Amino acid sequence: MADNIVRICAQADIAPDAVQAFEVEDRQLAVFNIGGKFYVTDDECTHASASLADGMLDGDVIECAVHMGAFHVPTGAVKAPPCQVALRTYKVVLQDGDIFADLDRDAAGEPA
CATH assignment of the domain containing 41: 2.102.10.10
Given this model, what pLDDT does residue 109 score? 86
pLDDT one-digit tens code per residue, 37-63: 999 999 999 998 899 999 999 999 999
Mean pLDDT of 58-77: 96
Residues 83, 71: contact at Cβ < 8 Å?
A: yes
- The answer to whether residue 40 is domain-embedded is yes
- The answer to whether residue 57 is domain-embedded is yes
Number of domains in the chain: 1
Given this model, what pLDDT does residue 1 score? 40
- The answer to whether residue 83 is domain-embedded is yes
Mean pLDDT of 63-84: 95
Given this model, what pLDDT does residue 28 score? 96
- Find the domain containing 45 and state its range: 5-102
What mean pLDDT value characterizes the chain? 94
C-alpha span between 108 and 112 (Å, rounded): 10
Mean pLDDT of 100-109: 93
